[in-house]
Amino acid sequence: GTFVPKDIHPHKLKHKEGKRINHSQFMTRESNEMRDHLETYHKICDALEPILRWVVEKVRISYYLFSEIETEVDIYPLNDDNPIRPFSSFVINLNVKTQAHRDHGDKNGCIVLVLGDHSGGGICLHEAKVVIETSHGDNVTFRSTDMTHYNLSYVGVRASIVIHSDRTAAAYQKNGFGWDANIYVK
């Protein structure tokens, strides 16, 4: 929306390379997974809400993580009551061993809540040359955008809930991804 004419309806716009115009940027929306499994999503939120709110409150001391996130848009798809506010998203990993990666889509960092009866599976922060051994109920907060991270092999059942905010929320808050100036998008 940033470089499009402001006086043409978005449905009448055509991309010069023949690509579709991304109409999903007009407003906040739920993920495909949430939309496709809405009842399951609400059951998970209801079951995990007390622990998720407790974890978020406990890590508020991590100023670097919360300083910018708390100013984000407070609009959630489907008028959802987000159990991880001020964060916008959470992901549940079940029995996974992650590849080394950075989460460039995250804003600042993340909180990882480890669950399950397992041994091993420590969280590795590559640049810091640190392995954080975790067990059921532990949480780890780090800058997932700046640090290459992964988890080690484990035995047993291991899950993690990763709480984070999307980096694009600031662009949406600023000008609706550029669509706010269009006279037809209000």
| Domains located in the chain, CATH noted | 10-181 (3.60.130.30)
SS3 labels along the chain: CCCCCCCCCHHHCCCCCCCCCCHHHHCCCCCHHHHHCHHHHHHHHHHHHHHHHHHHHHHHHCHHHHCCHHHCCCCCHHHCCCCCCCCCEEEEEECCCCCCECCCCEEEEEEEEEECCEEECCEEECCCCEEECCCCCCEEEECCCCCCEEECCEEECCEEEEEEEECCHHHHHHHHHHHHHCCCCC
The residue among 73 and 186 whose pLDDT is bigger is 186
How much of the chain exceeds pLDDT 90, in percent?
Answer: 27
Per-residue model confidence (pLDDT) at position 152: 95
Per-residue model confidence (pLDDT) at position 145: 86
How much of the chain exceeds pLDDT 70, in percent?
Answer: 68
Whether residue 48 is predicted with pLDDT greater than 80 in this model: the reply is yes
Per-residue model confidence (pLDDT) at position 116: 95
Structural contact between residues 90 and 163, judged by C-beta atoms closer than 8 angstroms: yes
The residue among 4 and 145 whose pLDDT is bigger is 145
Mean pLDDT in residue range 35-51: 87
Per-residue pLDDT tens digits for 100-149: 999 887 777 888 999 999 999 999 999 999 999 999 999 898 888 889 99
